[in-house]
Amino acid sequence: MSVSAAARSRVTALSAKSPELGPWLALYEVVLAELAEPTWSAITPELLAERQASGAQGGALPGGDAVPAEVAPGLTNLRIPLAKGPLKRFWGRLCEVAARSAPEGQGAERALREAAKLDGSELLALLEAAIDHDGSRVAALAGRIALPAAMLGSLAQLAVVPLLQACRGALGSSAGAAGAAGAAGATARRAWSQPYCPVCGGWPTLAEARGLARTRHLRCGRCGADWGAPVLACSLCGEGDHEKLVALMPEQGGEARKVDACGACKGYLKSLTTLGAWAGEVVLLEDLTTVDLDLVALDRGYARPDDPGRAPGVTLVEAPEPRWSLRRWWP
């Protein structure tokens, strides 16, 4: 996967404009570098047996409840083999960079260096929990290494970005390694009408008012997914009564940057005018560039949804390591 020039230039611009974002941007640069690694483009999501039994269109939640295709995120009940070696190296770099800016005197730096040593199975469990926004599983692991759960959770959310961006690519294409999963995902998403992400189940991070027609597209910051939504309804709860829907605009910038807020669910979503779609890895950077809009919304009593959206229940398993070894030159 290639990383867009747009992402690089956003990082440079943000660093210059907001030096206080430096620690987060340093972590995101690790993520951007990782996106180019072949590990991720090589992933091959597989359908779990239960999902195959349901016709490869929907899924089945743990416990056996059937999930129809039109509400099941693409990752529902997928099994994804991941090579532990590259994952451990990536995680180690994230922890190392996080340790450099850890708050002093609270043991966080030492705990982060400890977190860098999580074994492959623990890492797979952490990533699974992060994808599902399963706070209790993250907290249990954080307790074991004496790291604040919020810190481990934030780091894990960054760590799932390369995997989820790759999954979006694999599920969005009817060709290639994803095979039947890709075909089913592409078909289902064309008719996607849920407020949560059609790939990973998270809430939309931002909305784009795209092109001359200003069509509304919701974007997921984790996997980069892009899906259409009606303009005249709340994108979070579907409320269509215009008297309950308000647009909040900062003093400068006009309609190009605004907050769509809803009196029914008290939620909000930032909406930005764009000429064309952002690259998937740019969405989180755009979110960070528009913190002033969050402040406007929070100040009026609106909030992002506090529940995790729709947890897909993905299963990560260890992929077999390559059999060749650089330690010996003979076959």
Q: Which is nearer to Zn ion, 58 or 280 (CB)?
A: 280
Cα angle 90, 280, 44 (rounded to 5 degrees) comes to 60
Q: Which is nearer to Zn ion, 109 or 239 (CB)?
A: 239
For residues 239 to 258, the per-residue mask of contacts with Zn ion, x marking binding by CB under 5 A and - elsewhere, is x-------------------
- Whether the Cβ atoms of residue 54 and residue 121 lie closer than 8 Å to each other: no
For the segment 208-227, give every residue that binds Zn ion (CB under 5 A): 220, 222-223, 225
Least distance CB 236 / Zn ion (angstroms): 5
Tell me, letter by letter, the H, E, C secondary structure of 259-294. EEEECCCCEEEEEEEECCCCCHHHHHHHHHHCHHHH
Least distance CB 308 / Zn ion (angstroms): 12
Q: Which is nearer to Zn ion, 177 or 265 (CB)?
A: 265
Q: Which of 237, 246, 248, 277 binds Zn ion (CB under 5 A)?
A: 237
Looking at 89-97, 200-208, 252-260, 322-330, which segment touches Zn ion (CB under 5 A)?
200-208
Q: Which of 26, 180, 265, 279 binds Zn ion (CB under 5 A)?
A: 265
Closest listed residue to residue 67, CA positions, set 255, 281, 313, 234: 313
| Residue position matching structure tokens 């005018």 | 273
Residues 6+ apart with CB under 8 A from 137: 125, 126, 128, 129
Q: How far is CA 154 from the centre of its chain?
A: 11
Q: Which is nearer to Zn ion, 82 or 199 (CB)?
A: 199
Please report, to the nearest 10 degrees, the dihedral formed by the alpha carbons of residues 196, 202, 167, 222 taken in order. 130
Least distance CB 237 / Zn ion (angstroms): 3
Instruction: Extract the tokens encoding 229.
Output: 């939504």
> Length of the chain in residues, anyone?
331
Q: Does 200 bind Zn ion (CB under 5 A)?
A: yes
Q: Which is nearer to Zn ion, 25 or 160 (CB)?
A: 160
Torsion over CA: 137, 143, 145, 147 (sign): positive
Q: Does 264 bind Zn ion (CB under 5 A)?
A: yes
Q: Which of 199, 259, 272, 296 binds Zn ion (CB under 5 A)?
A: 199
Closest listed residue to residue 127, CA positions, set 171, 94, 173: 94
Looking at 55-63, 149-157, 262-270, 321-329, which segment touches Zn ion (CB under 5 A)?
262-270
Q: Which is nearer to Zn ion, 179 or 263 (CB)?
A: 263
For the segment 95-154, give every residue that binds Zn ion (CB under 5 A): none
- Whether the Cβ atoms of residue 130 and residue 158 lie closer than 8 Å to each other: no
For the segment 49-78, give every residue that binds Zn ion (CB under 5 A): none
Residue 162: CB atoms within 10 A of its CB come to 26
Looking at 42-50, 91-99, 122-130, 235-243, which segment touches Zn ion (CB under 5 A)?
235-243
Q: Which of 181, 234, 282, 283 binds Zn ion (CB under 5 A)?
A: 234
- Helix (H) or strand (E) holding 33, with range, is helix 22-35
Q: Which is nearer to Zn ion, 95 or 234 (CB)?
A: 234
Q: Which is nearer to Zn ion, 115 or 218 (CB)?
A: 218
Instruction: Extract the tokens encoding 327.
Output: 């330690």
Looking at residue 300, its amino acid is R
How many residues sit close enough to Zn ion to count as binding (CB under 5 A)? Answer: 15
Q: Which is nearer to Zn ion, 205 or 289 (CB)?
A: 205
State how far the alpha carbon of 4 is from the alpha carbons of 32, 36, 288, in Å: 9, 10, 17
- Quote the DSSP letter at residue 253: S
The residues binding Zn ion (CB under 5 A) are: 197, 199-200, 202, 220, 222-223, 225, 234, 236-237, 239, 262, 264-265
